[in-house]
Amino acid sequence: MAREIPSPSSVRKSMESSLSLLPSGRPNRERQIAFYGGSFTEMGREDQIAYLRAVQPFLSQGMIQSIRISTRPDALSEATLPLLKEYGVKTIEVGAQSMIDKILLLSHRGHTAEDTVSAILRLRQWGFEVGVHLMVGLLGETRDHFLRSLDQVIELKPDFVRIHPTLVLRGAPLEQLWRIGEYIPLSLEETVDWLKPGILRLEKAFLPAARIGLQPSKDLEEYLMAGPYHPALRQLIDSAIFFDMAQRILRDPADSSQAIFLCHPKEVSNLRGQRNGNIFKLKERFKLSEIFVEERQELPRGYLVLRTPKGEVSIDRKSLDS
């Protein structure tokens, strides 16, 4: 999926074109330009300055408010941080991928978990907003490895986390390992199973997940060879969480062959699951003839109520084990 790197002048032209298409409303909404798709601070200092200078007119005119970059944890030297601060960089996303050195070594990442810890602490000291990228299903990784990595990231208190599944892309080194059977990607079901407790841990730590999964794109469709890609991975996880919630409060069976659930309107699709999959499984598992779902605006998000002849039983997703 390698692409030609745009020049600073083409970045400026692209911004002019993009900003002209944005609506003029919502004046309080912050706009950022993001330099993604690589490690920004691995470029030479003069190249970094050239790109940062290209967007300064948009900053000074208030057309954008700040800059966001992504980079490696071992490419954030003390000399780099004041430069980024000077040119208006606000958010730095650190590609940790794992916090287990064995997994980083197998993936040929070229950095250690300690590099990530050091980078995040220094970024915090300089007042940057910090995001951390993790991957799930890396070569040699187990479910325990992934959850331990996530726990260590939570302890570092970044501002947000992104988690992407490991995919086999045509032309990438992982493709050869996959072809000879030395790498087997997670199934979609396994990915949801690994991420389900991870999402709950993030929520309990009040740490936002900026994105779970990968943005659909033509490039991804063209290069994807294998792996647990799904355009709505986050919804699959939320549906799995709601299925567990429904099971928990159905364990004390009511004197009825029916069940009536109440939830916030925006949680109905999570409770039902894709193509009503949760409803079908709950009916079969608990021998129910009908399941009714009623919307209740007054109920908080992440909350589920079961109405029974004996009264109402409720559960909050944060009460589930993680």
Instruction: Measure the CA–CA gap between 267 and 247, rounded to whole angstroms.
Output: 16
Instruction: Measure the CA–CA gap between 197 and 206, rounded to whole angstroms.
Output: 14
> Quick check: do 8-17+29-231 and 236-319 share a fold?
no
Of 242, 244, 156, nearest in space to 205 by CA: 156
**pLDDT at residue 310 in the model:** 78
From first to last of the 322 residues of the chain, give the pLDDT tens digit: 455 677 887 777 877 777 777 766 555 678 888 888 778 999 999 999 999 998 899 888 888 899 999 999 999 988 899 999 999 999 999 999 999 999 999 999 999 999 999 999 999 999 999 999 999 999 999 999 999 999 999 999 999 999 999 999 999 999 999 999 999 999 999 999 999 999 999 999 999 999 999 888 888 889 999 999 999 999 999 999 999 999 999 975 555 688 999 999 999 999 999 999 999 999 999 999 999 999 999 999 999 999 987 788 999 999 998 7
**pLDDT at residue 232 in the model:** 94
Buried b (16+ CB within 10 A) or exposed e, 214-227: beeeeeeeebeebb
- Tell me if the domain spanning 236-319 has CATH number 3.30.2320: yes
Instruction: Measure the CA–CA gap between 166 and 169, rounded to whole angstroms.
Output: 9
Tally of helices (H runs) and strands (E runs) in the chain: 13, 12
Sorted by where each begins, the domain ranges of the chain are 8-17+29-231, 236-319
**pLDDT at residue 218 in the model:** 86
Q: What is the DSSP string of 125-188?
A: HTT-EEEEEEEES-TT--HHHHHHHHHHHHHH--SEEEEEE--EETTSHHHHHHHTTS--PPPH
**pLDDT at residue 321 in the model:** 83
Give the SS3 label for residue 292: strand
**pLDDT at residue 25 in the model:** 54
- H/E stretch holding 251: none
Give 109: exposed, middle or buried? Use CB within 10 Å, 0-12, 13-18, 19+.
Answer: buried
- What Å distances lie between residue 218 and 1, 199, 221, 222, 232, CA to CA? 11, 28, 5, 6, 16
Give the SS3 label for residue 319: helix
CA-only gyration radius of the chain, Å: 23
**pLDDT at residue 28 in the model:** 61
**pLDDT at residue 254 in the model:** 54
Handedness of CA 121, 122, 126, 132 (dihedral sign): negative
Instruction: Measure the CA–CA gap between 216 and 117, rounded to whole angstroms.
Output: 31
Phi, psi of 97, deg, nearest 5: 70, -45
Class assignment of domain 8-17+29-231? alpha beta
**pLDDT at residue 282 in the model:** 95
